[in-house]
Amino acid sequence: MADVAFPDEAETRARWGNFAWTAENAAQATKIIARYPAGRQRSAIMPLLDLAQRQVGAETQTQGWLPVPVIEYVAAQLDMPFIRALEVATFYTMYNMAPVARYHVQVCGTTPCMLRGSDDVMAACKNKGLIKGKTTPDGLFTLTEVECMGNCSSAPMVQINDDNYEDLDYDRTVAILDALAAGETPKPGTQEPGRHTVEPLGGPTTLKEMVSGNHDYRGDW
Amino acid sequence: MPKVTVDGIEVEVPAGATVLQACEAAGKEIPRFCYHERLSIAGNCRMCLVEVSPGPPKPQASCALPAADNQVIRTDTQMVRHAREGVMEFLLINHPLDCPICDQGGECDLQDQSVAYGKGHSRYDENKRAVTEKYMGPIVKTVMTRCIHCTRCVRFAEEVAGVESIGAIYRGENMQITSYLEQAVNSELSGNVVDLCPVGALTSKPYAFEARPWELSKTPGIDVMDAVGTNIRIDVRGRQVMRVLPRINDDVNEEWAHDKTRHHIDGLMERRLDRPWVRRDGKLQSATWAEAFEAIRAVNAGSSVAAIAGDLVDCETMFAAKTLVNALGSTMLEGRQTGLSYDVSSLSAVNFNTTIARVEEADVILLIGTNLRWEASLINTRVRKAVWRRRAKVFAIGQEVDLTYRAEWLGNDAALIAKLPKTVTDAFAKAERPMVIVGGGALAVTGAQAAAQALVKTLNLVRDDWNGFNVVHMAAARMGSLMLGYAQSGGIADITAAAPKLAFFLGADEVDFANFDKSFKVFVGHHGDKGAHAADVILPAVAWPEKAGTYVNTEGRVQVAERAAFAPGDAREDWSIFRALADVLGVNVGFDSFDACRASMIAAVPALGREGEIADYGWSLPKGGTAKPSGPIPSPVKDFYLTNAIARASATMQRCSAELLHGETFEEAAE
C-alpha cells in the first residue's frame, strides 16, 4: 500500500468535492453517531467511513472507495482533524484508498488457505485476466491478496464484495468469476456439494451423539 | 507516595509517577525514544524496558508503567540488557546507515543509544525499507527513511502546537509519518519537532548541511523576537550565528521556541550596517566614525535631544543612551515607537502579573485585543495547556483568529470591555483563577486600558496568591524601557511636538519618521531598514547576539544574555558609541566600560541586577476614571514572520511569510 499514491488530487476534488450524504445515508449517519456517548462522537469515524465508501460505490456502480474530499466530509461532520480520519482510513485495509471495480475479489493467501490451495485460486484469477492490485479493463474485477479472513475451516476462500466463497479450487473459482461476469449471483458460502457451513467433511468424527440431540457425555468419562 | 527499589536503591516517588521516573529519581539512565517529559506517553519504541517484580516475568516498558508501592525494579540485569539490544537491533533494521550525511549526526539519540545499549552489529541481510520524503513546510526538512515512528512530532503537533496536521498513515511496515496531504505544517512552533525528533528524520531546512554540532561554540542568550524572553542557546561558528535552540526554563519557555526565534538568524548576515553613513546633499554616503561624530556635533543641539528605543535593544543600550540624553539636559525618552501612549504610572498595571508559568492554572480567561498566537506564542501554548488540561474557558474580544484552542469570540468592539456580556461575568463569578490578558492592540484604543483595569475590581481578578491582570507586550525591550523611564506621558507624540534638534533612534524602525522631519536623525542600529533610510547619520551598532545585555520580559523577569558573536566591519557595541558621543558632545556619562555601564544601570534601577527574578513593581492600579472605549481593536502584528528589521532581512522568514501567511507555493529543488 505504501507506494500507492492518493489519486490525482485536482481531479478527485473536482469529482468528489461536493460529496454529501444521500437523504437515507444522512439519517443512517445520525443514527450511527447517536450510538456513542456525548463528546465521543469521533468514535463513529469507522462506520461513517464505511457508509461513505458504500455511497461512493453506489454512485459509481463499484465497490466504492474513499476519495480525500469524502474523508474530509466525514471528518468535518465529526468535528475531528482531517489527519486523524486519514490515519484511520489508511490503516484499515477494508477502506479502499483507490477506486475498485464492481467486484472486489479479495483472495486470502494466509497459511491455512495456502496449504489448502489458494495458489490455485490465484492462478484461476490470473488466467481470467485479473492482476493483483489492479482492475480489469472492463471494470468488473479488482484483485487483492489479503491476510486471514477467518474462514480457515473452509479454506481456501475469497471474499467478493460482502460475500465469502469458500472451499474453492481452480474450477470453482473460474465458475464464480464467470457467473459474476455474466451478471448472475453465485451462491455464497461453501462451494463443496453437500456441505452447508463449516461442518466436518464426511460427517462428524467426534461428539457424534450431539448431532441428533443434546447428549450428556459425563457418564462416558 | 509509592516506595520502590531500583537496583537496590530505595526511592520514594510522587503518586502517579511512572517506573521510568522512579528509575531517574534513583539516578539510573533509562534509554528512550518515544517518551518525552512534556508530551503524553505513547509507549511504542520499547527502548525503556526494565524488569519489574511483582509483575510478569518479562521486560516491561517503564515509561508507561505506573510505579507502585514495594516494586522491585532492575535496570542492570542480563534480561534488560538483552531486551535493549534486541529493541535496538529491530529499530536499526530499517534505519539507513547514513550518519555521515545526516544533519542529526553528533547529536542523535539513536546514535548515542546505539553506542551505549546496542549490539554493535546487525544480523539483518534483507533489503531495507525506503520512504519518500514528506513536505512539512519551509522550516522542517524530512528524510522519512530515518524515521523510527516514535510519534513525538505527532504528539507535539496535537498537544502543544495545537495544529493537528501531522499523523501516521498506513500500518505496520508501511507506516509513515506525514503532514496532512503533505501540506506545510502551518504552525509558528513547527521548528520544535526538529528538536524533538530523536533521529534525523526531521531536521532543520534552513540549517541543512550547514554545520556539525561539535564545530559550534554555544552561548546562552535571550531571545528578542518577542517579549516572552525565551531562553536560547546561540550556536556560532566563526563569526556566523548558525542556529538558535531553546534552553530549558520551566518558568518561561519550557523547552520550546517559535520559528521566528529559531530562524530569523540568517537575517543577521544580510543588510548589515558595517560602517557609519552621513547624509550629504540628501544622499547617505559612507563615512568614518570621526566624520559621523563631527556631523552630530555640528548640529549643536544643546539640550534639545531625544532618544527613541527600538524593540530589540537591551537595557544597557537604553541606559547608555539615557545617561547621555540626561547629561545633555533632556529627558525626552520613549520606547513605544508606534505611538502607543498608555498610562505607565504603575508598572504593575502594564505587566504580565500572573507570570507565564501560572497561566496554566487559570480556569476562566478573557483575551482583550490580542492575537496571542502571534504576539506571544509561548504564552499561547500555556493558555492552550490550561484549556487542554484544566478545561479552562476562554473568551476573547478582538479580531477573530485561530488561537489553536476554542475561544468564545465576543466581537471586535472595544466597548465590550466596559460592558461584558452576562455569560462572561457569570463565568468569572464562578472562577477560582480568573485571568485577563490585554494585548497591544487593545492598548492602542483610547480608554481601553482604563476599562480593562476596571475589570480587576468587577471580575475580582486579584486574590490571595493570585493576580489575574495581565498585559502582554510584543517588544523584548518594552518592560526594560519602561523601567528605565523610556516613556512620555503622551507617548512619542510628546517628543514630536517638542521637535528636538537631535534625535537618537536605537534600532527603532517602526517610527513614523515623517514626524521627525525637523530633527537631525541619528540611527544607532544594525540593519539597513526603515530607520536607516530615514537617518541623517547612521552609527553602526551590534545586533543582539553580538553583545551581552539585560532583558526584561513581559512578566518583568530580568534575564541576562551573553555575547556570542562579533559584529561585521566597523560596527561597535552600543554602549561604547554613546560613551564616545559623550566626549564629542562634551559631557560625562560616568562609565568607561561595559561592566561600569551595567553597574551604574543596576545602581539606578536595582531590580535589573537580580538576574532570573521577577522585578517587584508592587501592585497598584492608576486612577483610571470611567472610560468608555469604543470602536474596533486593531491588530498590532500584521505579519508574524516580519515584525522587525532582522526578520525582514531573513530569507527564511520572508519565505515563511510568503508561504504560510500569503499562500504562495514554492517548488522544491529536486535532490
The three cell numbers locating residue B385? 495547556
pLDDT tier at B669 (50, 70, 90 boundaries)? low
Of B131, B169, B174, the CB nearest to A86: B169
Is the Cβ–Cβ distance between B566 and B261 less than 8 Å? no
Of A215-219, B532-536, B581-585, minimum mean pLDDT range? A215-219
What residue of B is the nearest CA neighbor of A72? B180
Interchain CB contact of A94 with B (< 8 Å): no
- CB–CB of A2 and B166 under 8 A? no
Residues 6+ apart with CB under 8 A from B511: B308, B337, B338, B492, B505, B530, B531
The tens digit of pLDDT for each residue in B224-253 reads 999 999 999 999 999 899 999 999 999 999
* Residue B668 scores a pLDDT above 70: no
For residue A213, give how far its alpha carbon lies from the nearest alpha carbon of chain B (Å): 44
Shortest alpha-carbon distance between residue B624 and chain A (Å):
44
Task: Tell whether the model's pLDDT for residue B158 goes beyond 70.
Answer: yes
Cell of A99: 477506486
Average pLDDT over residues B119-138: 91
DSSP β-bridge partners for residue B368 = B397, B438
B168 to chain A: which residues are within 8 Å by CB?
87
pLDDT, residue A2, reads: 41
Run of H or E residues at A89: helix A82-91
- Record: contact A2-B165, CB cut-off 8 A: no
DSSP B159-186: III----EEEES-GGG-EEEEGGG----
For the record, the C-alpha cell of A8 comes out as 490525482
Helix ranges (H only) for A92-213 are 111-115, 118-127, 170-181
Identify which of B164, B176, B179 has the shortest CB distance to residue A84: B164
Position A201 scores a pLDDT of 79
pLDDT tens digits for B350-408? 999 999 999 999 999 999 999 999 999 999 999 999 999 889 999 999 999 999 999 99
CB proximity under 8 Å: A 8-27 to B? 9
Backbone angles phi, psi at B473, to 5 degrees: -95, 165
Q: Which chain A residues are closer than 8 Å to B181 by Cβ?
A: 6, 9, 68, 86
Q: Summarize the confidence of residues B655-664 as an average pLDDT.
A: 90
pLDDT at B627 over 90: no
The interface predicted TM-score of the complex, written ipTM, equals 0.87
Is the Cβ pair A1, B174 closer than 8 Å? yes
Confidence bin at B107 (pLDDT 50/70/90): very high
Contact A83 B165 (CB under 8 A): yes
Out of B131, B166, B173, closest to residue A83 by CB? B166
Give the chain B residue whose CA is nearest to the CA of A81: B164
3-class secondary structure, B520: strand
Interface test with chain A among B180, B391, B665, by most A beta carbons within 10 Å = B180
Please report the pLDDT score of residue B358 as a whole number.
95
What residues in B contact A1, CB-CB < 8 Å? 170, 174
Check A81 against B176: CB less than 8 A apart: no
Residue B183 banded pLDDT, cuts 50, 70, 90? confident
For residues A163-183, give the mean pLDDT.
94
Contact between B181 and A2 using a beta-carbon 8 Å cutoff: no
137-196 of A, contacting B, C-beta below 8 A: none
What is the distance in angstroms between the Cα of A46 and the nearest Cα belonging to chain B?
15
Distance separating alpha carbons of residues B311 and A199, to the nearest angstrom: 82
Q: Which fold has domain A103-190?
A: Glutaredoxin (3.40.30)
Phi, psi (degrees; rounded to nearest 5) at B589: -100, -10
A90/B179 touch (CB, cutoff 8 Å), yes or no: no
Nearest to B352, CA basis, from B553, B605, B609, B613: B553
Cβ-defined contact of B168 to A87 (cutoff 8 Å): yes
Q: How far is A96 from chain B (nearest CA, A)?
A: 12
- pLDDT value at B168 more than 50: yes
Confidence label for A1 from pLDDT (cuts 50, 70 and 90): very low
Residue A4: its pLDDT value, please?
A: 53
Q: Which of A188-202, B60-74, B273-287, B419-433 has the lowest mean pLDDT?
A: A188-202
Q: Nearest CA to CA, how far is B154 from chain A (Å)?
A: 10
Residue range B336-347, pLDDT digits in tens:
999 899 999 999
Rounded to a whole number of angstroms, the distance from the CA of A91 to the nearest CA of chain B is 5
Q: Does A84 touch chain B (CB under 8 A)?
A: yes
**pLDDT tens-digit series, residues B44-86:** 999 999 999 888 999 999 999 999 999 999 999 999 999 999 9
Work out the average pLDDT over B290-295: 96
Q: What is the 3-state secondary structure (H, E, C) of B561-600?
A: ECCCCCCCCCCECHHHHHHHHHHHCCCCCCCCCHHHHHHH
Minimal-distance CA residue of chain A relative to B166: A83
What are the φ/ψ torsions at residue B10 (nearest 5 degrees)? -90, 130
Q: What is the pLDDT of residue A208?
A: 86
Q: What is the reported pTM?
A: 0.92
Q: What is the 3-state secondary structure (H, E, C) of B17-86?
A: CEHHHHHHHCCCCCCCCCCCCCCCCCCCCCCCEEEEECCCCCCEEHHHCECCCCCEEECCCHHHHHHHHH
The pLDDT, as a whole number, for residue B671 is 46
Q: Domain-by-domain residue ranges, chain A?
A: 9-91, 103-190
Tell me, yes or no, if A87 comes closer than 8 A to chain B by beta carbon. yes
pLDDT band at A3 (very low <50, low <70, confident <90, very high): very low
Q: pLDDT category, B182, cuts 50, 70, 90?
A: confident
B163: closest CA of chain A, how far (Å): 9
Cis peptide leading into residue A204 (ω within 30°): no
Cβ pair B164:A83 closer than 8 A: yes
- Grid look-up 462416558 returns A220
Which SS3 state, helix, strand or coil, does residue B384 take? helix
Closest CA in chain A for residue B155: A84
Cβ-Cβ pairs closer than 8 A, A with B, add up to 36
A 42-71 residues with CB below 8 A of B? 68
pLDDT digit string, tens, across residues B461-507: 999 899 999 999 999 999 999 999 999 999 999 999 999 999 999 99
Give me the torsion for CA of B476, B477, B480, B482, rounded to 10°. Answer: -120
Mean residue pLDDT of chain A comes to 91
Is the CB of A83 less than 8 angstroms away from the CB of B170? Answer: no
Asked if the model's pLDDT at residue B670 lies above 70, the reply is no
Q: Which has more pLDDT, B254 or A201?
A: B254
Choose, out of A12, A66, A71, A90, the residue to mutate when testing the contact with B (most B CBs < 10 Å). Answer: A90
Collect all residues from B whose CB is shorter than 8 A from any CB in A: 131, 164-171, 173-174, 176, 179-181
**A81:B166 CB<8 A:** no
Mark yes or no for CB contact B165/A81 under 8 Å: yes
Q: How far apart are CA B63 and CA B61, in angstroms?
A: 6
